[in-house]
Amino acid sequence: MVAFRRPWQANLVVFVSNTCIMTLELVAGRILAPTIGVSLYTWTSIIGVILAGLSLGNYIGGKLADRIASPRTLTMLFWLASVTSLAVLYTHVLMGDVSWPKAISLPVRIVLLTAGVFFLPSVVLGTISPMVVKLTLVDLGRTGEVVGQIYAASAAGSIVGTFATGFVLISLLGTRVIVVGVAGVLFILGFLIGFRHLRRGTTIVSILAIALMFYSAYSRDLIRSPCWDETNYFCIKVSEQEQPGKPLKVLTLDRLVHSYVDLLDPLHLVYGYEQIYGAVLAATMPQSPLSAFFIGGGGYTFPRYLEAVAPGSHVVVTEIDPGVTRVAHEELGLPYDTGIITYNDDARSFLARDRDGRYDLVVGDAFNDFSVPYHLTTLEFNELVKTHLKPGGIYMVNLVDGRQGLFVRAYVRTVRRTFRNVYVAPSVSGNLEDTIRQTFVVVASDRELPLGPNQPPIAGVEPGLKPGSGAGGTPSAQDQKELDVPALLSQFLTSEQLEAILNARPAPILRDEFVPVDNLLAPVFVDSG
């Protein structure tokens, strides 16, 4: 049976179906990010699972086309694709709650989770193109021309779906609305293809069943995004948390609590690594004002801190996600008239263009849990940072690693190729076996710094004194609790301790052409559950 007597009809059908396929593939990365982060493993799994589903779907679709090709069958395939696409809203919640045995490696877990959510809709969508080809062929002498046009229309739909979703739809609508939209488009297209060929009872029952599923998703609040804002980079969430006498705003990016912000007191640092940053600042840069460059803004906690303790400082922040900057202004107390200059740009691209910028301090805070921008970890990037530091300038970075310490070893070895003096402060213990994961602060400079235990007292810095509060001010008990500079500096490893950690096992030098960050962090992800 020939259903498409005009080539444009068949081409339009495969164009739309392949637009939906690529839309789901792009959305998959954002839907899975709060559960498994965004990494090489994530995208490898998404692409592999969807290609596997399409391949199986093409095979099944070809078999069906030879046996039961008809507009009615094609309609049913579109409606089944609609149902399985909408089911993504349910399955990603169910799969996110699965407890995986430790014997299953991290890549396998991610593949299985991705397959549980996106394999079935990919299979069903893969059946459509072979069916359309069968329903379009009239003259076997034009087989090549017909198939070539359908393939071209399919590819064009994939291109449109990729660019429209990545550049427009996710930030405009959010992932869950997009999933509902894809399901709706597939259902409507199936109805338009087969409404003349379906029995009235079949049509009514099918419409009611799909409508019930849409209503169920709506009533269970599966359509509404859990994010404050869903950008092309993160699912951004803002919540509130009470500390004794300190109401805090909490910024979460995907699966990681990124920042705690005290709206009333920019000197209140909650995270241990931020307190270490403050102590390093007090010990090494007592002069004010400073020139500082921040790689990543997040909740702007430490840029605001620096602005408060060193008034008049020149503070530049590169935050790649405009949505993060927007939430900092609207929810996290960053004034619109702040002296902090923000560029919504990739830090490496910005520094490569900014040939004249020189800074006393560069702070790296862009390593989002296990989602590490690998191009900011390499020897080449460290060399770029060094060209933007003033003589004696300091580069501070925080990163996460665990028992095996694969990433921190590789990172420190790499930084040592650029800077003469490198210091490391673990947040919990210098014995990596003591904890499944912890934050490390890495400080690098070409000058020697008074960091580590058994250092001589720092002139002008008393225990508990905040930087900037020493000019005749007496710190309160709360101040002492928040920032005890000598105690924080004593967390830095001695040179002997650091050498012992580095020499315990080999680690690569991270270069642009070889930077296996995801592989180095995989054991931490597995240990963290």
Flag the least confident range among 265-269, 419-423, 457-461.
457-461
Q: pLDDT tens across 201-217, in order?
A: 666 766 777 777 676 66
Q: How far apart are CA 328 and CA 250, in angstroms?
A: 11
CATH 1.20.1250 maps onto the chain at 7-226
Confidence of residue 468 (pLDDT cuts 50, 70, 90): very low
pLDDT computed for residue 299 by the predictor = 92
Mean pLDDT, the chain, rounded, equals 85
- pLDDT, residue 118, reads 95
Question: Quick check: 474 pLDDT over 60?
Answer: no
pLDDT for the residue numbered 387: 96
Q: Does domain 271-450+460-528 have CATH number 3.40.50.150?
A: yes
Gap between the Cα atoms of 336 and 132, Å rounded: 55
pLDDT, greater one: 108 or 394: 394
Confidence band, pLDDT 50/70/90 cuts, at residue 218: low
Q: In this structure, what token pair is assigned to residue 463?
A: 């225990």
Confidence (pLDDT) at 471: 31
pLDDT over 90 percentage in the chain: 47
- Token pair of 490 as six digits: 């004593």
Instruction: Return residue ranges of the chain for CATH 3.40.50.150.
Output: 271-450+460-528
H helix and E strand count, the chain: 20, 11
Provide the pLDDT for residue 7. 77
pLDDT tens by residue, 363-373: 999 887 667 88
pLDDT at 447 over 50: yes
CB burial of residue 245 (10 Å; 0-12, 13-18, 19+): exposed
**Whether the model pTM is above 0.85:** no
The H or E element spanning position 423 is strand 421-426
- In this predicted structure, the answer to whether residue 524 has a pLDDT above a threshold of 80 is no
Q: Quick: pLDDT tens for 250-309.
A: 998 887 788 889 988 888 888 889 999 999 998 888 777 899 999 999 999 999 999 988
Higher pLDDT, 83 or 145: 83
Nearest Cα neighbor of 107 from 40, 35, 13, 202 is 40
| pLDDT at residue 480, as a whole number | 34
Decide if 393 contacts 460 (C-beta within 8 A): no
As a whole number, mean pLDDT of residues 97-101 equals 74
Give the whole-angstrom CA distance, residue 19 versus residue 128: 13
In one letter, which amino acid is 238?
V
Quote the crossing angle between the two packed helices 272-284 and 301-309, to the nearest 10°: 30
Measured over the CA atoms of residue 326, residue 273, residue 250 and residue 265, the dihedral's sign is negative
pLDDT at position 370 is: 66
Q: What is the rounded distance in angstroms from the CA atom of residue 218 to the CA atom of residue 232?
A: 24
CATH fit for domain 7-226, picks 1.20.58, 1.20.1250, 3.30.70, 1.25.40:
1.20.1250
pLDDT for the residue numbered 475: 32
